[in-house]
Structure 1
Amino acid sequence: MLGGAQGFVFYVFWAVAIVAFVVEIWAFVDAVRRPAGAYTAAGKLTKQLWMIILGVALLFGLAGAVALVSIIQMLPVIGFIAAAVYLADVRPAVRQYGRGGSSSSGPYGPW
């Protein structure tokens, strides 16, 4: 077992990995909910490509969260960066195109 400062640092890095994993889950779920046409209409990569990127990022984040890979190593960091790029750049661009086949929408938007 790690004691003292080493134990504290381990738990801090583990907490950061958990937070990064939650961000990656958020990005993946948001990408699933957006319609495929919104990505091309916004001038971004296709939905299929973003699903692959965010799926791999999710796997990297899971490996970091369960401490299979150290947070200092590059894979969890790369996964978080991919999710952050999606949330900061792609999500705002595709959000204006809605969520796709919503039955509660009228001809001029949601009721």
Structure 2
Amino acid sequence: MLPLATFPTLLHGFANPIDVIWWVLLGLKLVALLDAAFRPRAVFVAADKLTKPGWVLILATFTLSHIFQSWLSFFGLIGIVAAGVYLVDARPALRAAAGRGRGGWGAIRRRRGPRPL
């Protein structure tokens, strides 16, 4: 008889909740790293935040430490804080400095010109 296909047997990286937390935190760090890497350098200066090479170096170092060490290590915990600070503090300021803050895809915009009938 064939063994029952369960979630841990289908995807080997998700056997217990600690593995799921590891993947979620790695995704969080990768999102922060990729966002910092693809922003223009001038936006960091305009937002009066740490420079782009500084953020990319910090986030890349802690993302690699997350892969090669445990996320519960000293560098792993500092990396979680660094990615959180970037996503909560720096990213909204960078979006606002680039002209995309608070007026994103779903924002209500004022019409210019006469009102439609």
On the 8 A contact 1:36/1:47 being kept in 2, the answer is yes
Q: Percent identity?
A: 36
Q: Which residue of 2 aligns with 1:86?
A: 86
**TM-score, scaled to structure 2:** 0.65
Query: 4+ residue runs of structure 1 moved beyond 6 angstroms?
Result: none
- Tell me, in whole angstroms, the C-alpha distance in 1 between the residues paired with 2:17 and 2:71: 10
RMSD, matched Cα: 1.8
Structure 2: unaligned runs, 5 residues or longer: 1-14, 101-117
1:98 positional shift: 5.6
- Tell me, in whole angstroms, the C-alpha distance in 2 between the residues paired with 1:60 and 1:82: 13
- Tell me, in whole angstroms, the C-alpha distance in 2 between the residues paired with 1:48 and 1:70: 25
Q: How many residue pairs are counted as aligned between the two chains?
A: 85
- Tell me, in whole angstroms, the C-alpha distance in 2 between the residues paired with 1:71 and 1:33: 25
- Tell me, in whole angstroms, the C-alpha distance in 2 between the residues paired with 1:17 and 1:77: 12
1:81 positional shift: 1.1
On the 8 A contact 1:39/1:45 being kept in 2, the answer is yes
Query: What letter corresponds to residue 84 of structure 1 in structure 2?
Result: G
**TM-score, scaled to structure 1:** 0.69
Higher relative contact order (CA 8 A, sep 6+): 1
Greater radius of gyration (CA): 2
1:55 corresponds to which of 57, 60, 63: 60
Query: What letter corresponds to residue 16 of structure 2 in structure 1?
Result: Y
Structure 1: unaligned runs, 5 residues or longer: 1-9, 64-68, 100-111
- Which has the larger helix fraction? 1
- Tell me, in whole angstroms, the C-alpha distance in 1 between the residues paired with 2:85 and 2:76: 14
